[in-house]
Structures are given as C-alpha cells and as structure tokens.
Structure 1
Amino acid sequence: MSKVKLVATGDTLLHSRIYDLCKTKDGKYDFTKKMAPAESLLKAGDISVVNLESLVAGEELGLTSFPKFNNPVELAENLKSFGTDLVTNSNNHTMDLGEEGALKSIENLEKVGLMYVGSHKSKKDQKEFRIIEKNGLKCAFLSYTAVTLGNNAPKNKGYLLNTIVKSQTKEIRREIERLKKEKNPDAVIVSVHFGREYPLYPVSAQKEIAASISDAGADIIIGHHPHVLQPAEWIINSRGKKTFVIYSLGNFYSGQKGLYRQIGGALSLDIIKKSNKSADIKVDNPVLNLTFVDANRKSGYQMHHLLNYIEKNPYIKTEHGDFDSLDVYSELSKRYKDWMPEMKLK
C-alpha cells in the first residue's frame, strides 16, 4: 500500500497593514514570526499546497494593497521555508499589474524554487504538467479561475491565466484526458477559484463546476475565492467515481477583517493506493486544522498573528464584537459535519 498526506490551505493575500508590520530594519520583509503556525501545518504534509492569491512581483514593481495586490518577494521565500511544495496562482488578482506583474511574480517564484500552477510564462510552460511524486504515488495538479472581475490576460496570451469561461469546463476535461494519457498520474488534484465572496455555503455555480470537473476525472477539488470556510462533500459522478470537494478553504493568511474572514484552515487528506495492480486510489481521513488571524487593534504585538484556533480561548475579539470561541467552533463543526460526517475539525 502507498499513501501520501496532502495538505492544502486557503488564500494567502497580504494587505499593506500586514506587510508594513513585517518590514525589518534592513528594509526587507520577514513573515516567519507572524505566520509561525504555518510551518508545522505545512510540514505535516508529504505534499503541501498554498493558494497564493497575491502577486509576489515585489518592490521592483511597487507593493500594492486592496484593490490590486502585489506582495513582497519574501512572502514566497517564507512559504518555501515553511514546507510549501506548490502554489496555485490563478485568481482574480493574477493580472492586477498586467502581463509585466504576472511574469515578474512567476520569475520570483522560480528564483525561490516554488512550483506554481494556474498562471504561466508561456504556452510551453502552461502545457507542462505539474507532477509531484512522493511515497510511490504520482500526484498531478491543475488550477483554474472562474472569476477574473475583468482582469483578463491579453488576447493570445491565455497562458498567463487559466480560466473557466461561463462555467464551461470542456478545456479542463481535455487537459485531464491529456494528463492521464501522457503522465498516468495516480491522483488528479484541481484547484478552482470560484463562487461569490463571503457566503458560508457554496452557490449553485460552484456545485455545477465541481460536478463537471469531477466528471472530467478529478479525484480532489480544492475551492478558493469566497474568503470564508465552506463545507466539503463527496461527489459521485457519471463514471461512478467518487471525488472529494471542499468548496472554499477561506483565508489562510490575510488582512481581511470579520469573524469568518479571519478563520481559515489547513486541510489534510490521505491519498491511498492499495496496490500497483489497481488504478484506483482512495481519498480518506479528511481533517481541517482551524486557524485564526488576530486583527484586533488591542492585540498589540499579536496584531495580525496567525494562530491555531484553539489558542483563541475562551473569546475571540474582533473589531465587530467579541465571540465565544466554543460557540463558533460548534457552528463550524455542524456546518462541516452536516455535509460530511467524517470530517474532523481541530
């Protein structure tokens, strides 16, 4: 039997109120203390994936915050040091600084040694599948966005941003078919930027896209964009195969404010193959390790620290009020277990 533990996190999207706090005396940036729990969460996986929703084009192109995001290069360096194997970079902020920004961000990811998928530097780069092999299992990663908010790639340069147009997933189906023919991976993991911002449950478009991607042959679908946690479920597709989908992993590390915008998590899944004779894999043991970004102005040194959720006890203090952490945990637990009883929240 072969087994890989996959860890995936939600959106990493730094506002100026975070990176300004992390500027060092030598003019550089260091997020290691603010993001400290990320290291143990990411290194717990055999393969760890982070949704990088901001460009990391760095100071060369000018750091920017909402509504257009460009973060320091050091963010990518820190994610790499924390144990990140791959970042997904297709989203509605990919083209915030146009073609120049997208290419500079990719250049910096390559310098750091971070594999990326979703936004690419050329057609050739886009055609090269991202495969990570661990413990005898080959895992393939794809990434697309159904949301651009008008930030589209230039004509004839669609490689800069993998998109789903009008909820049509024919291109994804073709890519998965080509992937399986050329690389024969054991598992296909598709990250999708979709839905609407802030609903605590997926909207119909998310469910339609997920069902179609499942039917195309994905084993795992990881959702982003709503900036809040949304439930997970199993999809049985027309082929009779079962796909795991989590509709949104929320914010992992971000300067957004609001109770559920400050709560995120690191999802872990076991990908299991019982024998080399069988082509089928099993996705098992879903666990969501909850996190919280402290955005309370009264927190002092703790301001914008990433924390394990269990550290927020007994009350969560936000600028919009104080909340009983056990009540919030109970709501989150019910929301997930109503859709997937075996999901564990920590």
Structure 2
Amino acid sequence: MATKKVTIGATGDILLHKRVYEKARKKDGSFDFAPMFENVKHLFDKDHLIIVNQESIIGGEELGLSDFPNFNSPVEIGYQLKDMNVDIANIANNHVLDHGEKGILSSIENWEKIGIPYVGAYKSFEDQETLRIINKNGLRVCFLSYTKGLGGKKVPKGKEYLVNQHGVTKFAGHKDVAGVRRLIDQIRKRDLADVVVLSIHFGKEYQMKPTAYQLETASNLADAGADVIIGHHPHVVQPFDFLVNSKGETVFTAYSLGNFFSGQKGLYRQIGGYMTIDVEKEGNNRLLKIDNPTFNLTYVDSSDKKDYKMHLLKDIVDTQTSIKTDVGEFDAKEVYERMVNHTKMYLPNMEVK
C-alpha cells in the first residue's frame, strides 16, 4: 500500500510590540521585517505544511498601530510570513478582540489580500463553518483553532462567529470538548480529512511547565480525535509529549511553543523555536504514524543594540559566551543546554537543536 507523508511545521507567538515594528520601519514609512528573520528563514521549508500563531491582529496603519495592552500590527508582517512559505495563520487568542469586531474584520481582509488562510476567528457564521483543509502530498490536513480566554473582552451578542472560544461560547454547534468531538467525528464520517491539527490558546503566562488544566484539556482533545495539538499563550516553551488516547491512537502535543517573534523581555520569553512533526498514512488505514518531532531553538535579540533580530540559539552559543538581558548576563552554553533538556523533559529522544 502506498504511504503518504506530510511534515507539519509550526511556530509560537508572533506578537509585535511597538519597539519591534518601529525597528522595521523604513524611511518611506513602510515596514520591512525581512532583515529580522534572515537568520531563521531557512527553517521554513517550502515542503513543510506550516502554521504560525499570529497573536496580534494585522489591521495595519488604517486601523492605527498599537501595542500592549491592545495590539494592532503592520500588514507587512503578513507579507513577510507569506514570503517564508507559511500556509495558514492561527488567529484565535486573547488579543484577537483588542480592537473589537472592526479589528478582526480588518485583519481578516488583510489576510485575504496577502493570500494566507486564517483559522480561529471569522467574518461570518458561514466563514466559521467552512473547514480549513489543506491538501499536502496527498494528505488532507484539517486545521481547527480555539482560545480559552479573550483577555476580559466579550464577543458581541449574535456574532459568536468572530472567535472560537473553547468551553465558553457556543459556535457552530461545538461549545466544548464534547462539541469538538462531534465536529471531528463528522469530519471522519464524511471523510473530509486524514489529519486533524488543533491549535489551542490555553495555560498560564510564563509558566515553564503545563498546568493541570492544560494536561487535562490536551488529554480530552486527544480523545476527541485531534492528531496534533499545538498550544499557545504561556509565552515560554513548555515540554512536548506523545499522548495515547482511549482508542489507542498516538497524539503529538506541544503544550506551548512560546514566543517566536515578539518584544517581550526576559530570557525565556525571548527563546522560542520552529517545530516539525511527521505524519504518515498507509493506504486507507485510519491509524496514523506520527513521529520524528524536532525543535530548532530560536532567540530574539533585545540586548545592547535592541534590534530584535532573530537567531538560532545554537548560533548564539557558537559566537558568544554570554547572553545579555535586562536583568543581567547568562552563560550562553548553560542556557542552551537547559533549554534542550527542558524541551525534551517528557521525550528524551526528541531532536532539539
């Protein structure tokens, strides 16, 4: 029987503070993020199926650029991601309503102009109910996305389609884990997809290990039928794991991919990475082979020059003995080894670079 295989690539949060996007501003007033990504762009292999977590909306200057606590980023970051082979943007998070309904709709309009599909926030009930399925190497991969919270903001009554809020707001008939299970069951029964990748915004900020809620929720989502679970929100990298659900299916879980590109300060808030996981299907066999997880550690420089340029963390170790932060200096080799061991805590044989 023929075997089909796809390598899924993913990053953590892209959250643009003013101090970051102003470094990308050119003399003509536009923005160029390419120099900031040049050291990590090669990770985004065109043969991968890539999803990124764009945590700040991209309403652009027409909406008024802003940062914490209500983010709105330049549209150019979207074009940069398009240039880096990104296939889909996850936009369900606690900042998606920072500029209300107008912000979401403006951002979606820009994603459509850029040509990158989005998931997790929508412009109508019809849009929300349209599954995001991408065919790659003969495998149909369905992307689902939910956020646990909205940063204290509320979805306008009657417009619950604006964002998939897990466990709180009823949307398209799937309000909670039971609803997610029904949705995935329908995807299987109607033979709409071979692989389900589920992004979820959950956990506690800056916690280096998953909370009891994350562990329980991931287990429930695995049992509901997700094949790959990708977590966001803590802004730091948490360990990866393989779960086995009650059907005996293996589910890969990244509890938190941390920050990928942001202006947050603090050693472990500046470390993120690019994750890949291989998914194979043999013939018509429903049981997938999910293996070969890898993680390339990255670092956003906000030290003396404060240029917010991205680097591979291993390159930092190769070129300098210490890492400077706002609270002091850290031994570069020790930081790298600590992060490698931390990421592999539940999977000792995982490849971390």
What TM bracket, shorter-length normalisation? over 0.9
Q: Is the 8 A contact 1:188 1:218 kept in 2?
A: yes
Shift of 1:333: 2.0
CA offsets 1:171-199 (integer angstroms, 9 cap, x no match): 22222122223343111100000001001
After superposition, residues 148-167 of structure 1 pair within 5 angstroms as 148-165=150-167
- State yes or no: 1:278 paired with 2:282: no
Which letter maps to 1:15?
H
After superposition, residues 125-144 of structure 1 pair within 5 angstroms as 125-144=127-146
Which letter maps to 2:289?
K
Correspondence for 2:237: 229
Give 1:304's match in structure 2, choosing from 284, 302, 308: 308
CA offsets 1:279-303 (integer angstroms, 9 cap, x no match): 221111100001000011x136xx2
Q: Is the 8 A contact 2:92 2:163 kept in 1?
A: yes
Task: Give structure 1 stretches of 5+ with no counterpart.
Answer: none
In the alignment, the residues of structure 2 paired with residue 342 and residue 8 of structure 1 have an alpha-carbon distance, to the nearest angstrom, of 20
Correspondence for 2:204: 196
Shift of 1:341: 1.6
- State yes or no: 1:265 paired with 2:269: no
In the alignment, the residues of structure 1 paired with residue 301 and residue 316 of structure 2 have an alpha-carbon distance, to the nearest angstrom, of 9
Shift of 1:45: 4.5
Which letter maps to 2:239?
P
Q: Please give the TM-score of this superposition, normalised by the length of structure 1.
A: 0.96
In the alignment, the residues of structure 2 paired with residue 175 and residue 250 of structure 1 have an alpha-carbon distance, to the nearest angstrom, of 28
After superposition, residues 48-67 of structure 1 pair within 5 angstroms as 48-67=50-69
CA RMSD after TM alignment: 1.4
Describe the shift of the 1:38–1:115 C-alpha distance in structure 2 as closer, same or farther (beyond 3 A): farther
Which letter maps to 2:269?
R
In the alignment, the residues of structure 2 paired with residue 140 and residue 183 of structure 1 have an alpha-carbon distance, to the nearest angstrom, of 11
Correspondence for 2:172: none
Correspondence for 1:122: 124
Q: Is the 8 A contact 1:31 1:78 kept in 2?
A: yes
Shift of 1:43: 2.4
Shift of 1:46: 2.0
Q: Please give the TM-score of this superposition, normalised by the length of structure 2.
A: 0.94
After superposition, residues 4-153 of structure 1 pair within 5 angstroms as 4-43=6-45, 45-153=47-155
Task: Give structure 2 stretches of 5+ with no counterpart.
Answer: 169-174
CA offsets 1:107-165 (integer angstroms, 9 cap, x no match): 00000001110001111111111111111111110000012121232111111110112
Q: Is the 8 A contact 1:118 1:142 kept in 2?
A: yes
Matched position secondary structure for 1:338: coil
Q: Is the 8 A contact 2:12 2:259 kept in 1?
A: yes
Shift of 1:44: 5.2
After superposition, residues 200-211 of structure 1 pair within 5 angstroms as 200-211=208-219
In the alignment, the residues of structure 1 paired with residue 39 and residue 165 of structure 2 have an alpha-carbon distance, to the nearest angstrom, of 32
Counting matched residue pairs gives 342
- State yes or no: 1:216 paired with 2:224: yes
Describe the shift of the 1:114–1:5 C-alpha distance in structure 2 as closer, same or farther (beyond 3 A): same
Correspondence for 2:255: 247
Matched position secondary structure for 1:285: strand
CA offsets 1:306-330 (integer angstroms, 9 cap, x no match): 1111121222111111111221122
